[in-house]
Chains A and B, each alone.
Chain A
Amino acid sequence: MYAESARLPSARPTIPATLPIAAIILWLGALAASAMPWLNQLEPAALVAAFWTFDPDQYSSVLAHYSWAPRVSIAVLIGCGLGLAGAVTQQILGNPLASPTTLGVEAGGQFGVTVATLFAPGLLAFSPDLAALAGGLLAIGLVIALTWRLGFSPVTVILAGLVITFFLGAMNMAFLLLKGEWLGNLFIWGAGSLVQNNWGPFMDLWPRVLVLAMLMLALIRPLQLMQLGQASASSLGARVALIRMLALLLVVVMSTTVVSRVGVVAFIGLAAPVLARLLGARTLGSRLLWSTLLGGGLLLLADTLAHWASTWGDGSLVPTGTTTALIGGPVILLALQGFRNTHHMPGQESGPASFLPQRRSPVLIGGAVVTLLLATIVISMGWSPGLEGWNWTAVSQWHEAWVWRGPRLLAATLAGVALGLAGTLIQRMTGNPMGSPEMLGISGGAALVMVVIVLSGLEVGRAGQLGAATLGAAAALGLLILLARKHRFAGNQLLLGGLALYVFMDAGLRLVMASGGTVASQLLNWMYGSTWLISEPEAFGLMAFVLLICGLLCLVVRPLTLLPLGDTAASSLGLPVARARLLLLLVAAVLTAAATVVIGPLSFAGLIAPHLARVLGQQTVGRQMIVAGLVGGLLLAVADYLSRIVVFPAQLPAGLLAALVGGVYFLWGLSRHGRA
């Protein structure tokens, strides 16, 4: 009755042999590397015995029992826990980008401890877990509250998680810049250090991890239904929202329990499941099992590397969080090669929830934004605090104030315009609401070069920084193009590549912050966009450049409208898809590089401005681009003004303020409209 087709596998598909072999190699390699420094002091048998006993007459044996063995054990334990949590998270959200890190849980934990350190140090002495757990719950609570009405649709959850990560990260930085003297240790903790000096923490931790793991495994069958998408899962009798919430809660408790003991060990929860899947773990059960095992092995390896790096680098501490990030980057790049079908992720059948506020007249909205921008410029130039309170500078005296207030204001505004335009380009091009220069890693590439310069101790002037950052952005872009070429510049692959670059930048940053010193605060100032470093010629150069690009953008409105219809539709309408993408990518990168040098890589402007333009009712590409550019300019102009006055006579970086202001707006908008 039915058509026959040839070549059918008759046996059940099994797990490919590469998976267990890779896991065994990883574990043996990590264990051997970890044990190597000890082998010339202890017999292998004695070293193994160090896990449960020691010889009180032999110093190295005592050391192995109280330092090495607990460190290995805790690395494996935490790695397994985070690997499992990551695999569960990816299953809940049906998204290879999901992990405790991307949901904001780790940033939340760190924020909790920062706040506790500053305002309730007693609580930390009592139990550091509580502060971290409260922070993590706060972060996930915000994510859940924001996405509640959408039944936790995967794209929105990730988006909200990312915004919260950035937002809490910016709050942490604000505290660090204002009260840095109290928080030095915190940033070593924040970077994840696994150094142990007894078995206490491990004994404390293992029952919790075990219980949480059992609870997660109990949810395995409902989680499997999530793979069928919301409609089918609920028609099979699963309460989708409830299951997602329960599983998310378990993930949070697992991550914050781990994080409060050893700090942020990011990316294990992302890398382990990705690796397991790439190596052929197909069913949910096998994905959970192998992510757990690979997570343990990966963290042990990362920790060993961190230990070696600390030993070689004249005793300066290299936190494990840094090396996990260094391992995480390549794994994500691997994922980029392996995932062909990311735009058909299960559970995401409807795509990003469509969000169509009422259309409004572009003239009206544009006019209103321009008016606000002009008002900001006038106030920023004229009205400021001085030695004897607030005073008003008359227009006739503006030429005197110009040199102090003008260039930075101009540069900030232009950077905002550039980021708004770049953000719109990228969001349209990738058809992804998470797409923004920040997420594409172009700003990350620029920042990475800056970090390297600071680390190497080279003295470069402002011009050198400018050149280096542009170079970094271009290199990041080149890498992205190379990687994405295979996928014809499709959206999700680009985002994954950008994430990998961001991971590298993050690793460098953690390293700098853990080393402390003036270098760190100098870098922090730049990272968070210190507009006071701008000179007049630089500002005018930026203006000419942005105007030039704006002219160019008029040519690409039509291709940008076509691209989101999909490659097939766009190319059958006669658009050379790959070439159009390349051109747009180039324009976006150049805009981003120009802005990053001024405002640092972490401002929200590129993510916020395009959304705000949509909320204001600008649906078509051209209108959205214009309004997004204006809104971006307004956002950073206001941020620049505020950065001058809020802690007068000291200054805050404008990019940091933009991130805070923009983050608050964004969260509000997300919850109000329910869909973004």
Chain B
Amino acid sequence: MSAFFKVSGLGVHIGDATILRNVTLDFREGEVTALLGHNGSGKSTLLKILARQMTPSSGDVRVLGTSFQRTGAREFARTVGYLPQHPPGTDGLTVRELVALGRYPWRGPLGRYNAEDHRLIDQAIKDTGLTRFQHRSVDTLSGGERQRAWIAMLLAQQTRCLLLDEPISALDVKHQVETLRLVHRLAEQRELTVVVVLHDVDLAARFCDRLVALKSGALVADGSPRNIMDSGILESIYGVPMGVLERAPGQWVSYVH
């Protein structure tokens, strides 16, 4: 698999504080990668840099082999979709109207929406199971439904990559699993590259192909769930003594001593 993002020597400094230091890493195409780490480890910052929401102080990022800064804003938005950690209130937009905004990168300020666009919007709403809600105002939905509405917008954007910043942090277990299962399924169906910031290492191991961990702005672990789900490595990531049980093949349970 070729690299979708190629991150080399990335560093971010804000004032005296170092947020990321010398991170070098590839994100391979068609792979679901979880970014792990404790609070303040720099994972959200890394995601924001991948989404071009921040410019790094040093180092370089390449998307599909081309340099990062040279791509136009809409061209970039056709390749990479980003869901911020706290999506803002949407001021009365209905679900369908929100999802339709995802077609902006393709149609621009003046282009007409054609049948294909409407099909993609319908498809995105259907894929996220929101058909019954499509004419409801987003603000009146529950947390899980709202999260799905935003993911639907990203799907309508038809990008080859999704960057999700803690998409399940505000959800209950049922909705967490449903959202991650959705992301996993979509990634498989559409061969999407997904980078997702997660706090729950068990869910990450269950639904992601690869786990990457940061600590104090530096890369500390990178590998398949089987490699990472190891008491020594988890302890080095989170700084607390931890143990791991493998209940069934591909299903791990971590616990704190």
**CB contact under 8 A between A236 and B109, given known A227-B90, A345-B89:** no
User: Quick one: which of B73, B102, B109, B178 contacts A221, CB cutoff 8 A?
Assistant: B109
Which of A6-14, A259-267, A308-316, A329-337 touches B? A6-14
Complex interface residues of chain A between 213 and 249 (CB less than 8 A to chain B)? 218-222, 224-225, 227-229, 231-232, 234-239
**CB contact under 8 A between A218 and B93, given known A229-B88, A236-B101, A237-B74:** no
Residues of the A chain whose Cβ atoms lie less than 8 Å from the Cβ of B137: 13
Scan A340-367; emit 1 where CB is below 8 A from any B CB, else 0: 0100111111000000000000000000
Asked whether A237 lies within 8 Å of B105 as measured between CB atoms, the reply is yes
Asked whether A229 lies within 8 Å of B91 as measured between CB atoms, the reply is no
Report the Cα distance A11→B105, complex, angstroms.
Answer: 28
User: Quick one: which of B72, B93, B105 contacts A227, CB cutoff 8 A?
Assistant: B93
Asked whether A238 lies within 8 Å of B104 as measured between CB atoms, the reply is yes
Residue of A whose beta carbon sits closest to that of B163: A235
Asked whether B104 lies within 8 Å of A236 as measured between CB atoms, the reply is yes
Asked whether A235 lies within 8 Å of B136 as measured between CB atoms, the reply is no
Interface size for B (C-beta < 8 A) is 47
Asked whether A237 lies within 8 Å of B92 as measured between CB atoms, the reply is no
**CB contact under 8 A between A9 and B73, given known A236-B102, A346-B88:** no
Query: Does chain B have a CB within 8 A of A127?
Result: no
B93: min CB distance to chain A, Å: 7
**CB contact under 8 A between A234 and B53, given known A9-B135, A229-B84:** yes
**CB contact under 8 A between A221 and B110, given known A1-B129, A227-B93, A228-B88:** yes
Asked whether B135 lies within 8 Å of A239 as measured between CB atoms, the reply is no
Among B92, B93, B107, B157, the most chain A Cβ lie within 10 Å of the Cβ of B92
Query: Does chain A have a CB within 8 A of B77?
Result: yes
Q: Inter-chain contact count A-B, CB under 8 Å?
A: 105
Complex interface residues of chain A between 456 and 470 (CB less than 8 A to chain B)? none
Complex interface residues of chain A between 6 and 31 (CB less than 8 A to chain B)? 8-13
User: Quick one: which of B51, B77, B101, B136 contacts A228, CB cutoff 8 A?
Assistant: B101
Asked whether B86 lies within 8 Å of A236 as measured between CB atoms, the reply is no
Asked whether B110 lies within 8 Å of A218 as measured between CB atoms, the reply is yes
Query: Does chain A have a CB within 8 A of B70?
Result: no
Asked whether A2 lies within 8 Å of B178 as measured between CB atoms, the reply is yes
Report the Cα distance A234→B87, complex, angstroms.
Answer: 13
Query: Does chain B have a CB within 8 A of A40?
Result: no
Query: Does chain A have a CB within 8 A of B132?
Result: yes
Query: Does chain B have a CB within 8 A of A283?
Result: yes
Asked whether A346 lies within 8 Å of B90 as measured between CB atoms, the reply is yes
Q: List 5 A-B contacts (CB under 8 A).
A: A218-B110, A237-B75, A238-B74, A283-B93, A346-B89
Which 10 residue pairs of A and B lie closest in terms of their CB atoms, listed nearest first? A237-B77, A237-B74, A229-B88, A235-B82, A349-B88, A237-B105, A2-B129, A231-B84, A344-B89, A346-B91
Q: A232-B87, A283-B92, A349-B89 are in contact. List 10 more A-B contacts (CB 8 A).
A: A3-B174, A221-B107, A232-B88, A235-B53, A235-B80, A236-B101, A237-B78, A283-B93, A341-B89, A347-B88
